[in-house]
Amino acid sequence: MEICIIESAERFRVVIECKCADADVMRLKSHIALFEHRLAVEQDGEKVFVDTADVLYFESVDDATFLYTESAVLEIKKRLYELETALSEKNFLRISKSVVVNLQKVISLRPQLNRTLLATMTNGEKLVISRSYVKKLRSILPH
C-alpha cells in the first residue's frame, strides 16, 4: 500500500491499480466512496451534514425517515427507497420494509427460528433482517 502526499491537493484522490475489476475491487471502491458522500439532515431546526460512513441505519416510521448514528437519531427529508437507491453501491442494504442498514456497521448475524436473522450493530443495537431480504444479504456477504 502506498500513500503519496501532495501539498497542493485540495482533497484526496484514490487510484486502484488492478489486473481486473472483480467483486473484491468493486467492494473496495464502494468502501472508499463512503468517505465522499454526505447527507443533509435536520437537527434542532438547522441543516447539518452527516458522512454516510457514520450512519448505522435508516428507518421509516409514520411517514418520516430517521438516520441513526452511534450518538444521534436525526430526521432526514428523503424517502427510504431514495436512500436505498442512492446508497446501494455503498454497502447499504434494505433488510425490512422499514429499514436500510449500513453493512459496515454490522458486527454479527444470528439466525432466528423463524428464518430471519438478527444483526448486531457496532453500538450493540439489534435489528431483525426479514426473511424476504435474507437471501440477498447472503448473496453479497463474503463466505
pTM of the model as a whole = 0.73
pLDDT at 35: 59
Q: What DSSP string describes 104-117?
A: GGEEEEEE-TTS-E
- C-alpha pair distances (Å), 111 with each of 30, 78, 143: 27, 31, 15
Q: Which domains does the chain have, with CATH numbers?
A: 23-140 (2.40.50.1020)
Q: Given a cut of 70, is residue 87 above it in pLDDT?
A: yes
User: What is the C-alpha separation between 84 and 54, in angstroms, rounded?
Assistant: 16
91-131 tens-digit pLDDT = 899 999 999 999 999 999 999 999 999 999 999 999 999 99
Query: Which is higher by pLDDT, 134 or 143?
Result: 134
Nearest to 87 by CA among 77, 70, 104, 100: 100
| Cβ–Cβ under 8 Å, residues 91 and 34 | yes
- pLDDT above 60 for 34: no
